[in-house]
């Protein structure tokens, strides 16, 4: 029964629009509209002219709803760093903010595109029907990765020319590499050091002039500390390099 009325409504809507063709060029649409207005003036007035009278009311409502949603659940102007609550330097907020945007792009936007275009993994009723489901709950990393892996093959010379997209393939590989670095490789860093030293009874430790800086435990501690400092410097340079790579492909982060 539902499908019957749905099909009936679709046919009625097409009839109201003078059964428009699937596609036409600019001139074709101009001629079609001229014919529509001439042969079905009442339908033309209702579908093409009448809505313009209600546009001011419509835009007033749209502006009001936009004011609310852009300050509540669609806060597109805000960047979520993904960091735990606490104090962070600007450099840390910048790094985490930008890569969290990349993470959202892959796990939400690219994943959504994958489902929309893949009949085997199509959107379920919750994803299609529940209000705010995408904004609040949707996140599917595996689908985002699969979409990028597919897009990364679009420069395959065996594909038909119309199906190739060299630029998309190149940027998809870069996005995938940066995403995997951020979510898999970088979290494996371990800078913990269990090396300690005896303060030798001095409250200020090695800052005291009488502290024995040649003590084996302190020497081992300093060696370990130097190794950690060197590792942290290497990681700092790697973070900067990856951040630069991300900035270079920012124009490709859209759906």
Cα distances from 68 to residues 18, 75, 132, 231, in angstroms, run 37, 10, 14, 47
Rounded Cα–Cα distance for residues 32 and 35 (Å): 5
pLDDT at 237: 97
Full-model pTM:
0.78
Residue 30, C-beta contacts closer than 8 angstroms, at least 6 positions apart = none
Nearest to 95 by CA among 83, 113, 112: 83
pLDDT at 251: 96
pLDDT at 173: 98
The residues spanned by each domain of the chain are 2-69, 90-252
Cα distances from 169 to residues 101, 153, 175, 190, 199, in angstroms, run 20, 6, 10, 33, 58
* Cβ atoms of residues 58 and 66 within 8 Å: no
One digit per residue, the tens of pLDDT, for the chain of length 255 reads 778 888 899 999 999 999 999 888 999 999 999 999 999 999 999 999 998 888 888 888 889 999 998 999 899 999 999 999 999 999 999 999 999 999 999 999 999 999 999 888 888 888 888 888 998 899 999 999 999 999 999 999 999 999 999 999 999 999 999 999 999 999 999 877 778 899 999 999 999 999 999 999 999 999 988 998 999 999 999 999 999 999 999 999 998
């Amino acid at each position: 029964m539902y499908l019957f009325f749905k099909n009936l409504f679709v046919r009625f809507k097409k009839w109201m629009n003078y059964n428009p063709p699937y596609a036409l060029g600019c001139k074709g649409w101009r001629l079609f509209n001229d014919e529509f207005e001439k042969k079905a003036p009442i339908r033309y007035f209702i579908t093409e002219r009448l809505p313009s009278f209600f546009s001011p009311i419509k835009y007033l409502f749209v502006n009001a709803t936009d004011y609310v949603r852009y300050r509540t659940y669609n806060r597109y102007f805000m960047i979520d760093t993904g960091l735990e609550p606490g104090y962070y330097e600007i450099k840390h907020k910048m790094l985490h903010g930008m890569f969290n945007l990349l993470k959202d792009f892959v796990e939400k936007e690219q994943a959504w595109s994958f489902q929309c275009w893949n009949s085997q993994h199509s959107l379920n009723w919750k994803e299609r029907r529940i209000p705010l489901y995408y904004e609040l709950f949707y996140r599917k990393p595996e689908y985002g990765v699969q979409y990028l892996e597919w897009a990364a093959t679009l420069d395959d010379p065996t594909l038909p020319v119309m199906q190739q997209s060299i630029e998309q393939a190149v940027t998809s590989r870069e996005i995938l590499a940066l995403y995997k670095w951020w979510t898999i490789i970088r979290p494996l860093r371990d800078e913990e050091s269990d090396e300690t030293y005896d303060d030798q009874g001095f409250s200020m430790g090695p800052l005291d002039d009488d502290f024995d800086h040649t003590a084996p435990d302190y020497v081992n501690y300093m060696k370990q500390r130097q190794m950690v400092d060197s590792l942290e410097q290497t990681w700092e340079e790697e973070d900067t390099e990856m951040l630069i790579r991300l900035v270079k492909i920012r124009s490709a982060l859209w759906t």
